[in-house]
Structure formats: C-alpha cells, structure tokens
Amino acid sequence: MRTVSLAEREQTLSQAADRIAAKKHPGRILLAVAAACVVTWGALSMWFNPALDHETIYKYLTAESIRAGVMNTIVLAVISMVLGTVGGFIVAVMRLSSNPVLRAIGFSYVALVRSIPLLVLILFTGNLALFWSRVDIVNPFNGDIWHSWDMNDLVTPFIASILALSFNEAAYMGEIIRSGLRSVDQGQREAATALGLGPWHTMRKVILPQAMRVILPPTGSQFVTMIKMTSLVSVIAGGDLLTASQNIAATNLRTLELLVIASAWYLLVTGIATVGQTLLERRLERGQRKVSV
C-alpha cells in the first residue's frame, strides 16, 4: 500500500487501460427534486397560512419572558443532566455490585422509574405538597420543632421540575453507564488489583476513563432529548420555554404563533447541542483509533 495525492491518482488512472466509467444515478436526482418540492410546498403553505400572524411572531420571538424561558430550559436541562448522571453512576455501581441487596435496589429503581411516564413523575413532584404539606426538623428527644418549611416554598415548580427530570434521567443514565463499565475488559480490573490499587483508584484511573468511550456518545443524545423533555414541565408551570410561550398565548390567544416561536428556539438550542455532540463523538473516534488494538 502507498499513500498518493489526488493528482497522482488522476495521473495513474489517465494512463491506465480500460478505465472504469463513473456510475450514473439518475434516480437520485429525481428523488431529490421531488423531496424538495414536497418540503417547500409544506413550509410555504404553513408560513403563508392566513391563520398565522407574522407580526405576533416577530413581536414575541425575542420577548423578555421568552428569553428567560429559553434560559430556564437550558439551566433545567443542564442541572438535571448533571444530577441525573451522578445518580446514574450510583445506580450503575449498585447494579454491578457484588452485594445482592444493592443490586436489587438498583434494579428496582431503574424498573420503577422507567415504567412511570415522565409526565406522571412531573405531576407527582409538582404536587408534593399534597403528600406532605410541611417539612419539619424535629428534636427526636422532646418533639420540639426546630424548623418548619411550607412544602410549596421548599419545592417550587422549578425545583419540582429538576427533581422529576433528574430522577428520570438517573434511571436511563444508569443503564448507559452500566453498559459502559461492563464494556471494559475484566483483565483491566485484575491488572489494577494485582498492582495493589484499591477499588476507588481502579475505578477512577483505569475503568472509568476506558468506559467513557462507550458512555459519552449516548449521553450526548440523552442531553439533546433532555432539552426537549423539559417542555413537559410546562404542566406544572416549571418556568421553561414552553411555559413562557403558553403564558403569552393564554393572554393573546395566539396559540399557533407562540408554538412556532417555541419550536424555533428548541430547534436552535438542540441544533447547537447536536453539533457539540457530533464534534465530541468525532474527537472520541480519533482517540479510539490511537487506543484500540
């Protein structure tokens, strides 16, 4: 094998006998034109629909409450993702533990959370005050109440949103991290153990760095999904982008316009996140080539 420049390749081929003709794909052009027509027609008929008031879209697209909603959506997604990943790591370690009790707890958590729809989970955390109206810190000896909070002050809709999203994410990240940890060859753990390294050093220096190659790509797409899932917290007025746009729609009755505005922002934010994820994956792939074999 020899690496050649494009010019060299042309040179060689131009002198070769029986050159192979480039293959023609007439069907592809036809398909592309047809698809472009359908998409353009759909977009135009929506955009120039008389039901859609362009003035309203321009007016509210960058309104202060919308911008605050976008910010909240990002903050909500990032915090929930971080908490969910930490929780997921704990769940993964429990599920891989040699302790059968920890294994059972980890398994039950994942099974439970994954079978309750996120929307239902959000309604639960949003209505926590119906379960426990107050949170008290009580002196266990004489029953004096040291401090007491109203649950509605403690768990605001924003906090409730973070709770629900993190608990949900921890279950899914738990499975992702578990498969990542399992992907590392058993011999790696044995080699570290044989050197006298303890479980913490073994995990942090040997297992986790190698598991990252498996964990990171799906975590990126989990984050993109998370950005979209934050919209569900609008049912408890979580203060996110959809909440903000629906609040406006509730006063001016321009439902459609504000959904278009929300979609535009979601498109932008998830678009940026997706580009970031693609870059990350490409970087990992490059590192992988260096590491593998």
Partner 1 sequence: MSTHPDALLKVDSVHKFYGDHHVLRGVSLEVQEQTVSCLLGPSGSGKSTLLRCINHLETLDAGRITMGGETIAYEARDGLMHERPRRAVDRQRQDIGMVFQHFNLFPHFTVLENITLAPNLLKRHSKAKSRQLAESLLEKVGLADKRDAYPSSLSGGQKQRVAIARALAMEPRVMLFDEPTSALDPELVGEVLKVMKDLAAGGMTMIVVTHEMAFAREVADVVVVMDSGVILESGTPDGVFTDPEHERTRDFLRHVR
- What residues make contact with partner 1 under the rule CB under 8 A? 185, 187-188, 190-199, 201, 205-206, 209-210, 290-293
Residue nearer to partner 1 on the CB measure, 128 or 284: 284
One-character DSSP codes across 88-126: HHHHHHHHT-S-HHHHHHHHHHHHHHHHS-HHHHHHHHH
Q: How far is the CB of 203 from partner 1 (least distance, A)?
A: 12
Residue 160 or 192 with smaller CB distance to partner 1: 192
Min CB(96)–partner 1 separation in Å = 16
For residues 209 and 276, which CB has a smaller minimum distance to partner 1 in the complex? Answer: 209
Q: Which residues contact 83 (CB under 8 A, 6 or more apart)?
A: 162, 166, 169, 170
- Reported as type and span, the H/E element at residue 84 is helix 64-95
Smallest separation (angstroms) from partner 1 to the CB of 74: 32
Q: How far is the CB of 283 from partner 1 (least distance, A)?
A: 14
Sign of CA dihedral 191, 196, 198, 204: negative
Among residues 207 and 233, whose Cβ is nearest to partner 1? 207
Q: Least distance to partner 1 from the beta carbon of 197, Å?
A: 6
Shortest distance, CB of residue 86 to partner 1, whole angstroms?
22
- Over the range 239-271, which residues count as b (16 or more CB within 10 Å of their CB) and which as e? bbbbbbbbbbbeeeebebbbebbbeebbeebbe
Choose between 54 and 204: whose C-beta lies nearer to partner 1.
Answer: 204
Strand partners, 149: 135
Smaller CB distance to partner 1: residue 212 or 235? Answer: 212
